[in-house]
Amino acid sequence: MKQLQKIIPVALVILVATHSLVQAQTYDSTLLVGTWHVDFQATVDLMSDAQRVQYDSLDATSQQQMEAQLNGQYFTFTEDQRFEASTTSTSYPGAWQLETTGYLVLTYDQGAAFRQKIEQLDSQTLVLQVVEDPNSEALFHHLHLTKTN
Provide mean pLDDT across the span 50-74. 93
Neighbours of 41 (CB within 10 A): 10
* pLDDT for residue 105 is more than 80: yes
Domain ranges in the chain are: 28-147
Nearest Cα neighbor of 66 from 76, 49, 79, 52 is 52
- Please give the sequence-ordered ranges of beta strands (E in DSSP) within 21-141, or none if there are none: 34-38, 74-77, 82-86, 91-98, 103-108, 113-121, 125-129
* pLDDT for residue 134 is more than 80: no
- Domain 28-147 bears CATH identifier 2.40.128.270: yes
CA 37/CA 130 separation, integer angstroms = 15
From residue 48, how far is each of 7, 55, 61, 104, 140 by CA, in Å? 40, 10, 22, 22, 9
Looking at residue 24, what is its pLDDT? 53
State pLDDT tens for residues 67-86.
999 999 999 999 999 999 99
From residue 50, how far is each of 40, 116, 134 by CA, in Å? 18, 21, 10
